[in-house]
Amino acid sequence: MKRLTQIAYIILLLFTICYTSFAQAEQINIKILGGRLGSKQANLEAAPQDSDPLSFEITSTTGGVIFQGKAVPAGNAVGQPVNMQYDPTQTDGRRLSLTIGNTSLTTELYDWEIIPIARFVESGFNACFTLYDRAEGPEEVEINKQYKKEGEIYWANFHPAFGDTLIGLNLFFVDAMLLNPLIMQNSDKAFANQIPGYHITWRSERKFVTGLTRKPFDLFQKLIKEQKEIKSWNSYIYTDYGTEISYRIENKRIIFNGVPTYIFVKNNHANKTVTVAKELNEYIIANHNIIYDLNPTVYRCAEKTAQWAAFFRMVKTEYPQIWKLFFNQIAGIEVVPKIETPRYWLPLEKMD
């Protein structure tokens, strides 16, 4: 019965997340996942640029998704100056003009990516998303009481740049992926229309899957065992911390190396310390492709966000005048599609 409920829930998810036409700035009905941000503006400003994402203060109160890297040149990009501009007269996907050395590069970055990422970098904060937020106001407090009686509820908050955006929703998916991979592996299939720069080719070829394949299943079984039996972790973050993100030029394109990953930690609330689950994290890195294959569209979106945030951060630091000009060029531009991001998350086993 439990299994049938899970399958039915996935089908319900896919049919209830509905969109208007892309040209009209799509709106997502996220109520099936919980509530939208609605009563609370996205206001997560945590983890300043120089903070340690593995400190107890951050892992115990923010967690979630943290991107803080600064890209470094590699190969034929070493020693080459960078110039970057935004041209609103060009078609979407070609508005970011990037030159490294004497080479003009194709970026294929869309406004729904450029604008939120640039605003995130400009803020000087690194926390993108958290499920550690708290209920606020009478309505949320009542919802919290209701679901606390039945089990668990997670309150979501986003960096202001990512609230009600496609990137924000995908960072939510990335964090929730390990809480409920059964649903999250099909989350991108809820989009009725192809979104330029978002969906990748595997989406149209993949068969509908109602359960996890063997390799991801084994991986998640290990995570459960680590938590319940070995007790090596009680929290995790998805981050580029500890990973070098580099860029080079190839066929007139910018190519990045380095991707974020999950880092599992054990928070000790008694003495306010953090222990990193080193062996488990090494296992996760070694099995990156298995995790990535749970939903390549979602993970590719998250990886691009981390990589371009690192590149923009490098430009902001190393070329402040160019960054200021670029940031002024994108001022006031509305981010479309406008996507409702959830205010709270109810794990599947608490909803059936």
Report pLDDT for 192.
65
Lateral strand order in the sheet of 235-239: 273-276, 261-268, 235-239, 64-66, 127-133, 154-158, 344-345
pLDDT digits 0-9 by tens, 104-153: 998 889 999 999 999 999 999 999 999 998 888 888 888 888 887 666 78
Reply yes or no on whether the pLDDT at 5 is more than 60: no
Report pLDDT for 348.
55
Distance between CA atoms of residues 27 and 17, nearest Å: 9
Report pLDDT for 212.
67
Report pLDDT for 40.
66
* Residue of 332 and 41 predicted with greater confidence: 332
Reply yes or no on whether the pLDDT at 81 is more than 60: yes
pLDDT digits 0-9 by tens, 46-67: 777 778 888 999 988 888 999 9
Confidence of residue 208 (pLDDT cuts 50, 70, 90): very low
Reply yes or no on whether the pLDDT at 35 is more than 60: no
Report pLDDT for 150.
66
What residues does each domain of the chain span? 2-41+68-350
pLDDT over 90 for what percent of the chain?
A: 47
Confidence of residue 15 (pLDDT cuts 50, 70, 90): very low
**What's the rounded mean pLDDT across residues 16-21?**
29
Report pLDDT for 4.
30
pLDDT over 70 for what percent of the chain?
A: 81
Lateral strand order in the sheet of 82-86: 82-86, 96-100, 103-105
Least trusted range by pLDDT, from 109-118, 197-206, 252-261: 197-206
Q: What is the dihedral of CA 196, 164, 325, 248, to 10 degrees?
A: -50
Confidence of residue 326 (pLDDT cuts 50, 70, 90): very high
Report pLDDT for 351.
36
Report pLDDT for 201.
54
Kindly report the pTM of this predicted structure. 0.85
Reply yes or no on whether the pLDDT at 10 is more than 50: no
**What's the rounded mean pLDDT across residues 13-33?**
34
